[in-house]
Amino acid sequence: MKPWQLDLNADDGPPGNGERATVEDIRVLREQFVDFMLGYKFAIDEITTKINILREDFNNTHEYNPIEHVGSRLKSPESVLEKVQRKNYAMNLAAIRENVLDIAGVRVVCSFISDIGTIRDMLAGQEDITVLEERDYITHRKPNGYQSLHLIVSIPVFRSDRTQRVPVEIQIRTIAMDFWASLEHKIYYKYRGEVPPNLRSDLAQAAEVATQLDEKMEALHRQIDRTAQPRTHPAETLDLSVLYHAFTAGAPHR
Ligand code: GTP
Ligand code: MG
């Protein structure tokens, strides 16, 4: 199918069904596609903000930061259309919205294995987040060694003229899992998917070592945790006048 035959607007009229599109049609299609993609960009912004809030709040409450790094990517229009073509989905926005659930992607890299479940539960428990799909490649490691927890969630995005629910793929993994995945990705691309058997077995072994490291670090972390001082409970009704005097002592009046 040629690009000018893309039926990105199946709901109302041309261009479609193999009709030739005019320059005006292409302009309209492009505008609608940009608007469509913008919803996913906003969804990434929202999820990223949520994760940054969790990171800061967790750090403040527990004096510990379970999140090492947050990254995100918006699939390029070319990759979206390439996936639609490859998977044989219909070439219209409604079908893309329904079938391509990884246009918005957010990756959370955690310090320890146990943080993955913590982050997952904190996100899944939020009122405006709906978990559509969950794949646990940690309990069920992929044959090549890939490990990660994948969630497809949907969140409401409040646009200027409407509210839409937008899916976002969230990958949660440890530093060791992330290190492994980025190297495997490079190797996979270098060999265009045909990774030689010796490299494949080396990668599988490296995945095993990564798991051992994660387990060792987790055990160490637990030991330190046990000796850590518990934080005092917040006391909403405590008299704040001591704090008032501490803040205002010597401070010039405004
Ligand atoms: P796609 O058609 O690529 O979306 O795959 P899928 O719908 O079967 O989902 P899956 O959970 O297998 O993979 C989604 C994403 O996880 C990929 O786009 C990668 O970012 C990551 N991923 C999955 N498997 C691997 C792997 O073997 N190696 C690496 N490096 N990343 C992986
Ligand atoms: Mg994908």
Active site residue 169: yes
| pLDDT on residue 20 | 79
Query: Which ligand sits nearest to residue 107's alpha carbon?
Result: 1
| pLDDT on residue 249 | 87
Position 86 in a domain: yes
Give dist(CA 188, CA 153) in Å, integer.
Answer: 27
Position 252 in a domain: no
| pLDDT on residue 148 | 98
Position 160 in a domain: yes
Residue nearest to atom 20 of ligand 1 (CA): 171
Q: What beta strand segments (E) does 46-136 contain?
A: 67-74, 104-110, 130-136
Q: How many domains does the chain contain in total?
A: 1
Q: What are the C-alpha distances in Å from 109 to residues 68, 137, 176? A: 6, 15, 9
Query: Which ligand sits nearest to residue 84's alpha carbon?
Result: 1
For ligand 1, say whether the CB of 218 is within 6 Å of any of its atoms: no
Residue nearest to atom 27 of ligand 1 (CA): 146
Position 224 in a domain: no
Position 50 in a domain: yes
| pLDDT on residue 62 | 85
For ligand 1, say whether the CB of 141 is within 6 Å of any of its atoms: no
Sheet with 163-174, edge to edge strand ranges: 67-74, 104-110, 163-174, 149-158, 130-136
- My answer on whether omega of the bond before 15 falls inside 30° of 0, hence cis, is yes
Residue nearest to atom 22 of ligand 1 (CA): 146
Query: Which ligand sits nearest to residue 150's alpha carbon?
Result: 1
3-state helix, strand, coil in the chain (%, to 5): 50, 15, 35
Q: 115, 109, 114, 117: which is closest to 180 by C-alpha?
A: 109
Residue 185 Cα to ligand 1 middle (Å): 10
pLDDT in tens, the chain (254 residues): 444 445 544 444 555 555 678 899 899 999 999 999 999 999 999 999 999 999 999 999 888 889 999 999 999 999 999 999 999 999 999 999 999 999 999 999 999 999 999 999 999 999 999 999 999 999 999 999 999 999 999 999 999 999 999 999 999 999 999 999 999 999 999 999 899 999 999 999 999 999 999 999 999 999 987 666 666 677 888 999 999 999 998 777 66
Position 207 in a domain: no
Give dist(CA 141, CA 205) in Å, integer.
Answer: 13
Position 179 in a domain: no
Q: What are the C-alpha distances in Å from 224 to residues 4, 127, 219, 235, 249? A: 61, 33, 9, 27, 38
CATH number at residue 62: 3.30.460.10
Position 138 in a domain: yes
Residue 89 Cα to ligand 2 middle (Å): 15
For ligand 1, say whether the CB of 184 is within 6 Å of any of its atoms: yes
Amino acid at position 242, single letter: V
Residue 138 Cα to ligand 1 middle (Å): 13
Question: Are residues 129 and 123 in contact, defined by beta-carbon separation less than 8 angstroms?
Answer: yes
Range of the domain at 88: 39-174
Q: Which of 169, 194, 208, 236 is catalytic?
A: 169
Give dist(CA 50, CA 246) in Å, integer.
Answer: 33
Classify 31 as helix, strand or coil.
helix
